[in-house]
Structure formats: C-alpha cells, structure tokens
Amino acid sequence: MSKPVENNRVTLQALSDYSPKKTLTAIVQLLEPLGGIENFVKPGQKVLLKPNLLAGKPPEKAVTTHPEIIRAVAQLVQAAGGIVYLGDSPGIGSAENVARKCGIMDVVEELGIVFTPFVESVTIHPRGRTFQELEVARELLEAEVVINLPKLKTHQMMGLTCAVKNMFGAIVGLRKPQLHLQAGSDKALFALMLLELCEQLKPSLSIVDAVVGMEGDGPGSGDPRQIGTLIAGTNPVAVDAVATEVVGMKPDQSWTQKMAIDTKRSGALLSEVELLGDDLEELRIVDFKAAKNTDINGRIPDFIQRMLKQALTAQPSPDHSLCNRCEICVKHCPPEAMSIAKRRLQIDYKKCIRCFCCQELCPQGALVTRQGSLLRLTQYYKR
C-alpha cells in the first residue's frame, strides 16, 4: 500500500443542512485538521472563490454551489484579512444573472465581495499530453489564492463533476464547446485535459459542497440528493478520490478519477489519501444514482465502435413535450449537430460527439439520455 503524502490530506465533516450558523461552524471544523483558513490566507491577499455557477437555477435544485457555503467561506477569508473575489464563467447566460438566480449575488452584496465574472482569456501552455495551449480566465490567474468550491454532481459525459472538473469554469464562455469539439468523443483525452488544466491552475484549497449533491442526469437536470457531507483538501485529485467513495461510486465511473489512476497521479487512490475529520464510513451513502453509462469505455476496437456508434453509445434525445425550442442547445452544440426544423428539435446523430453539453445546458430538462441497444445489453450482463 502506498504511503499518504502531506498534500493528500483530505478532511470530512458532516453537515445536514445549510442553516448559516451550522454551516459556518462545520466549515471551521472541516478546515481545522488542515491548519484552519489562516494556513491558506494571509492578510491583504486577493482570494478568489471559484464556485460552480453552471446555470441560473435556485439553490434547492442543487445545480450550483449553495450560497451558504459561499457565505461561510467568504466570512472566514475576511476574518483572516483576505480580500474576497468571486468569479466563474457559466455554461449559459451572464455570470451575474446566474449568480443572482442561484442566490449567490445576495451573499456577494451583503459581504462586499468583489464580483469578477470571467471574461478575459490569457493563453497558458500546460506541460501535459493533451493541449499545447489553453485559454483561461485572466481574473483567475491574477488571484493570489484560489479556493475551489465545487458542488458534487453526476456528469453525463465525465461521470462525476467535483474538484477537478470544477476548474473547467476557468475556460471562458464559448471556448468550452470548442475544447469539446477538439476532444471529440474521446473521453479519456477530455478527462486528461481537465486534470492538466486543474494542475496548471493549482487551486490552494478545494472545499466540496456535498451537503445536497445531484444524482442521475447531472450536472444540469439530475435530482438533488441529500449526502450530508463537506470534503476539503489541497489536492483536487485526492479530494475527488474521497468524494467518489462517499457516494459509493467506483473510481472508473468517474473519467477524471480513472485517468488520474491510469496516469499514476498522486492521491488518485484512496490508499494514498490521509483521511482526517469525521469518519468516512459513517458518511458514506448508499443507492446513489450514478449518471447513465454513455459508452462501453473503449473495450471494443475503434473501427467496430465507429460502425456501431448508435448501438454502442448513449445519445441525447429530445422530450418534445418539454422542449420550448429556445435554441440554447442548438447554439452551444460543439459540432453543430442540432437544429430546429418543422418546429421540432432535430439531432444529427452522425455528427453528435456525445458530449452532453446540450443536456447540461437545457433549462427545461428536455433532453433525456437514451442508451443504444448494445450498450443496454452490456449493462445487463455486467449486473
């Protein structure tokens, strides 16, 4: 068994609901084993909070990081003398609108946080195997301390979105679908890019909002799920290793976790993590509904997969009774596989790269995941 390293310390804290006092106390207790917030924030430092601001939904939908988590962390940073900034680049709409609809803007205004939506990009050169260049938010690079505040949710393409995936918000606006297009349907490549991006951006601390997470068709249209836990650490890979355990997912159900293990990244295995705080066994939940499998994870040669793409993968399918033809999905589909014709949403499945951006962004929850016949069969025999 590998020996845990200091960077792989991950702390857990039970929290049953978001009442402000309980949340603040729980975050203080959560950070205690890591040396408290003072270990990360020095007086006068510019501290950027990076929540999940995917879409403008109310907090009870569990699409975005809960405003009370933001309030508690911001209060602690301010008490330590830090100057709090908050920013992200949502999937759709302006960051300000999203922050207002999900309740975060109220906290921003009450606490005098500097709201800094990600709009300007700077080119960076990750030292990795995927993309030679990535364009990331200037606002994030200019912060002295970045605190990553993900929401634990299922993710139709990646399996799970948590500490590593949350840093994808550093890619500004429409550059996100461009990266999806460049990666195509190669999930391993996309997951590796997410790991390399997160490593390059190096958030000082990640605090996961897993009090109420999301299961099923995440990250935009799944069901809120009571998990009752906060998770924190300095290594996002180690934090995610613990998060998958808390919800009882296997590491290979999360593509970023699977790729972190395959590429032997430190903290990817639970055996490399030093667990602190509350007992993981007591916080673990059962029957968490994972996202539906959308392919058979590369166990069949590529040329056969290409021939049987429809049958071997899952695809988004419109529920026409819910679709109001707003065209948000049409405008954001990376390979332009979607259109409105004869007053109905149409998808060209030959072009579709199965990125599920459309499902992630649809405000009506009108795109369901349909598994192909052979994929369903493989699931059946795996039981």
Residues that bind ligand SF4 (CB under 6 A): 316, 318, 323-329, 333-335, 337-338, 345, 347, 352-358, 362, 364, 366-367
Q: Which residues contact 295 (CB under 8 A, 6 or more apart)?
A: 185, 187, 305, 312, 313, 314, 354, 375
Nearer to ligand SF4, 33 or 90 (CB): 90
Dihedrals phi, psi of 303, to nearest 5 degrees: -65, -35
Q: What are the φ/ψ torsions at residue 240 (nearest 5 degrees)? A: -70, -30
Nearer to ligand SF4, 158 or 357 (CB): 357
Backbone angles phi, psi at 149, to 5 degrees: -125, 70
Residues in contact with 158: Cβ distance below 8 Å, sequence separation at least 6, in sequence order: 165, 187, 190, 191, 194, 254, 255, 256
For residue 103, what are its two tokens? 């309740």
Task: Output 198 or 345, the one with its CB closest to ligand SF4.
Answer: 345
Taking the complex as a whole, how short is the minimal distance between the CB of residue 180 and ligand SF4, in angstroms? 7
| Closest CB 343 distance from ligand SF4, rounded Å | 11
CB of 294 to ligand SF4, least distance (A): 9
Nearer to ligand SF4 (CB atom), residue 85 or residue 255:
255
Query: Shortest gap between Cβ of 366 and ligand SF4 (angstroms)?
Result: 4
For the chain, helix, strand, coil in percent to 5 are 40, 20, 40
Residue 119 CA, chain-centre distance (Å), reads: 20
Nearer CB in complex with ligand SF4: 173/334: 334
Where does 13-58 have alpha helices with state H?
20-31
β-bridge mates for residue 135, sequence order? 123
Q: Which residues pair with 213 in a beta bridge?
A: 225
Minimal distance in Å, beta carbon 103 to ligand SF4? 23
Sign of CA dihedral 306, 308, 312, 316: positive
Which residue's CB is nearer to ligand SF4, number 224 or number 335?
Answer: 335
CB nearer to ligand SF4: pick between 147 and 353: 353
As measured in angstroms, the least distance from the Cβ of 35 to ligand SF4 is 42
Closest of 92, 144, 85, 142 to residue 117, by C-alpha: 85
CB of 193 or CB of 237, closer to ligand SF4: 193
Nearest 5°: phi and psi at 370? Answer: -110, 120
Helix (H, G, I), strand (E, B) or coil at 275: strand
Q: Minimal distance in Å, beta carbon 282 to ligand SF4?
A: 38
What is the SS3 assignment for 84? strand
Cβ proximity of 101 and 61 under 8 Å:
no
Give the nearest distance from C-beta 158 to ligand SF4 in angstroms.
13
